[in-house]
Structure formats: C-alpha cells, structure tokens
Structure 1
C-alpha cells in the first residue's frame, strides 16, 4: 500500500515520507498535528476507501474506490502515463506528476 515514516519535529510537527503506487513525496513533507491525526484516523481498521481518502494522498494509498479495497503496485496495471487499473478494471490516475506533452 504505502510505506510511511513519521518522526517528531518540535512540539507539533511530524515528518511524513511515503511511497505510492507510481510516485511518492521524495524526501518528505512537514505535517502538522491536525494532518497527522487525520492520517492516523484514516488508517484505522477496518480499512475503507471512504476513510482512507480523508488522509489526502493523491493515489488514495492504493485503494480502489469501487472495490473498496487496497492493491499494491503488482496488482495495479499502470500505463506509462501513470493511469492505472485495478484487477477488476476500475481506473484512475496514480501519478500526480504526469502531464501530457501535447497540452
């Protein structure tokens, strides 16, 4: 799904590093306590698409909405454009950095 590492910085700072299906956030992002709390709540069992989307990850942490299930990189069929389909054929963009050359 994704790898996350958080390290406390200061009184109300968290550092979030994640690797998504097609991209990640590189060296990480500073996350305030409110967002860290929202992310933790989003990934509380039982894992559901509706809850996971509240975390604000561009690829919904590998979750497919129609399936209400997470898939790893091996199970998403991702094209060179960053558009992927889950094992059941539902599709979405999984790469926030992809931009078509002809625009």
Structure 2
C-alpha cells in the first residue's frame, strides 16, 4: 500500500541531501509544514485547492530547479515514484521516476551529488566529481558544453 514519504538521497561526497522528493498523501500536509513561511503555506494551499484534495501531491527540489508548490500526481505515478525511491537508492531505479535531473544522480557513477558537487554552471549544466556531465535544468540548454 502506498504511503507518504520523503526521499533525500545523500550526496556521495559530502552527505548533504542531493535533492528532496516528497509524496504527500491526499488531505495531508508536507512533513516540514510547521517550518514553512506563511507565503509558502498560502501558495501550497492555493495550488492544492485548484486540484482535488483527494490526489497525491509531489514536491520536488532538484539540483538547480524544482516544482515550487508542487503538483498533483495520480495514484499510478505516485506508486512509480515511491518504487523508484526505495532504498538503497540506485540510478537504474531512480531514473524510472522521470525527473529531468535524475534526482541528482550521475548515471555513470550510480551516485547522487548535491548542487555544489555537480559543479553546476549558470546555464544549468553540471559535471559530477568524476567529470561526467549533463543538463540539470529542464529550461536551459548548456552554453558551456
């Protein structure tokens, strides 16, 4: 049975969370709700009200971009994301979730890295500590390939 969860794959270099993936159950609130500022709460609440409160909700903070107040996901997508982030975290599983930045994972290293260790450029292109590169931002094409 699907349950709400938070996944924060740790950077393989420093241990800080590489990304933040949270599935919020219908009619529930995010884990850190008490720490959110009033404007963040208002934006989240407004976004949820535009959709059925019976839907699962995805919050994602990637390496250089995220989905802000989140977005609705149907049960099938929520289950796919939950399955992708079963521990231990592996690139082959995580990539099946469909995040544009693979949730901070380098496919060649099979390891997640944080923003700092991706050596991300201003265009959203990054290189992992081993020198493998990829675009980390869905809105930009790298100028510095």
Alpha-carbon distance change, 4 to 47 in structure 1, aligned in 2, over 3 angstroms:
closer
- 1:57 matched residue in structure 2: 99
Give ranges in structure 2 of 5+ residues lacking alignment.
1-17, 27-52
The normalised TM-score by structure 2 is 0.64
Which 4+ runs in 1 deviate beyond 4 A? none
- Pick the structure with more strand per residue: 1
Matched, 1:98 2:115: no
Shift of 1:58: 0.6
Shift of 1:4: 2.8
Bigger share in helix: 2
Which stretches in structure 1 are left out of the alignment for 5+ residues?
none
Equivalent residues of 2:104, 2:112 under 8 A apart: yes
Shift of 1:7: 3.5
C-alpha RMSD of the superposition: 1.6
